[in-house]
Amino acid sequence: MHTTQSEKQDTPINRVIENFSPELAAQLRQVYIHIMSGKELRGWNPKWNIQFRPENKIFLYYRGNALVLTIYKKSNAFNVCSTNNTLKEKAPEIFQSSLVKEATDKRIGIAMEELFKLLIQENWLEIMEKVIDDNYKKQNKESQRGEEEREDQEKEVEQRLAAKLEGRSDFFVIDTEIRISGQVQKDDMLALQRAQDGTYNFVPIELKLSSDAGTERKRGGNKRNAVGQACEFCKTVKKNIDKFKESYKIIYNHKCDLGIFNGTSEIEILSDVMNPIVLVIGESNDAVQKLEKHAKDKTWNKDGEKGCEGCEAKNVCVVTVRCCSETDFINHPLGRE
Ligand SMILES: [Zn+2]
pLDDT in tens, 26-47: 988 988 888 877 655 545 567 7
The pTM for the full model equals 0.87
Same domain, 322 and 233: yes
Same domain, 73 and 133: yes
Same domain, 166 and 294: yes
Same domain, 138 and 156: no
Tens digit of each residue's pLDDT (9 = 90 or more) over 249-284? 999 999 998 888 887 778 999 987 688 999 999 999
**Top-confidence range, 175-179, 204-208, 317-321:** 204-208
Strand, helix or coil at 46? coil
Residue 44 Cα to ligand 1 midpoint, Å, equals: 36
Residue 72 Cα to ligand 1 midpoint, Å, equals: 41
Report how many domains make up the chain. 2
How many helices and strands (H and E) does the chain possess? 11, 15
Residue 298 Cα to ligand 1 midpoint, Å, equals: 6
Residue 238 Cα to ligand 1 midpoint, Å, equals: 12
180: left (phi over 0), alpha (psi -120 to 50) or beta: beta
Of residues 99 and 182, more confidence is placed in 99
Same domain, 95 and 244: no
What mean pLDDT value characterizes the chain? 83
Last residue of a domain, one of 113, 143, 173: 143
Average pLDDT (130-159) is: 75
Same domain, 120 and 228: no
Last residue of a domain, one of 87, 119, 143: 143
Residue 247 Cα to ligand 1 midpoint, Å, equals: 25
> Above 80 in pLDDT, residue 198?
yes
Same domain, 117 and 213: no
> Above 90 in pLDDT, residue 182?
no
Last residue of a domain, one of 110, 143, 176: 143
Same domain, 85 and 195: no
Residue 274 Cα to ligand 1 midpoint, Å, equals: 11
Same domain, 57 and 134: yes
**What are the residues whose beta carbons fall under 8 Å from the beta carbon of 306, sequence distance 6 or more?**
299, 300, 314, 315, 316
Domain housing 106: 1-143
Same domain, 28 and 139: yes
**What are the residues whose beta carbons fall under 8 Å from the beta carbon of 163, sequence distance 6 or more?**
36, 46, 48, 49
Same domain, 178 and 125: no
Same domain, 165 and 25: no
